[in-house]
Structure 1
Amino acid sequence: MIEYRIDRRSGVSTYQQIVLQTKQALRLGLLLPGDKLPTAREVVEATAINPNTVLKAYRELDREGLVEPRPGLGTFVRRSLARPGAEADGPLRAELVGWVDRAREAGLEREDVTALVASVLEQRYGTGATPDAPARNIEGDA
């Protein structure tokens, strides 16, 4: 079962953090169709947030077709967002863990790694990028 972690200093609304963390778990295959989300009461007990905040997040996930409430039973995952190769225990993640470890050994801080990854993502997935023709950066390398 997913355990939500709320960062009150992030600048992201609490309900949106729940939505984003749920989607991330769906993408990584940590939540699968049929899995039950924690009840609003369980989330409130674990995070000390307002139950209406949890319900708002679950309603948004329901509107997006990702979960479905079952009265008297709880809220259940309707569909996954996982793609082959993006599993939490998959080989791509293992490669990424190794890369992050090397970045740390090279002295990069978390913010440095975030900036570096964001720049590569923008280069490869930014405007005009396709899998066959990645976006080009200012220096012009492919």
Structure 2
Amino acid sequence: MEQVRQALLNSTLRPGDRLPTVKEVVGSLAINPNTVLKAYRDLEREGLVEGRQGVGTFVLRRPDGPPPSEQAVLRRSLAAWIARAQGAGLADSDIESMVRAGLRAAADEAIA
């Protein structure tokens, strides 16, 4: 689900595009077909995709969020921050911990 959402946000997938079949996803990722079916159903419930009997699953719209151009700016900014953190000697696990802590702190501030 997250991969599809990301692809929609960064315009890799666009409204009208057909998603791979469950069989194609299972074959390329070696995951349980029920997992793929559930993800497609959840995306459909969110109104992002639509399953068409005998034809496939198609993208209806992109999720709410910043447009691709703003995401690109944010991605570049994040990449620069990661490079600085690595240059300072932080391991990937330390960087991940810092990002998670930052996300938690932002969520706490939004609630307060």
TM-score, length basis structure 1? 0.66
Q: Which has the higher contact order (CA 8 A, sep 6+)?
A: 2
Q: 2:26 matched to 1:61?
A: no
Pairwise CA distance, 1:129:
2.5
Q: Which residue of 1 aligns with 2:66?
A: 83
2:110 — aligned with what? 129
The CA deviation at 1:100 is 0.8
Consecutive unaligned residues in structure 1, runs of 5 or more: 1-18, 136-142
Q: From 5, 18, 24, give the equivalent of 1:36.
A: 18
The answer to whether residue 97 in structure 2 is matched with residue 115 in structure 1 is yes
SS at match of 2:108: coil
How far is 1:67 from its partner?
0.6
Residue 108 of structure 1: SS of its match in structure 2?
A: coil
Q: Percent identity?
A: 50
TM-score (norm: length of structure 2): 0.81
Instruction: Provide the residue aligned with 2:83 in structure 1.
Output: 101
C-alpha distance in 2 between matches for 1:37 and 1:120? 33
The RMSD of aligned alpha carbons is 2.0
Q: How many residues align?
A: 109
In the aligned structure 1, how far is the partner of 2:11 from the partner of 2:94? 28
In 2, the alpha carbon distance for the partners of 1:112 and 1:128 equals 22
Aligned to 1:10: none
For 1:41 and 1:35, how far apart are their aligned partners in 2? 17
Provide runs of 4+ in structure 1 moved above 3 Å.
Answer: none
2:56 matched residue in structure 1: 74
Q: d(CA) in 2 for partners of 1:36 and 1:112?
A: 38
46-55 vs 107-116, which deviates more? Answer: 46-55
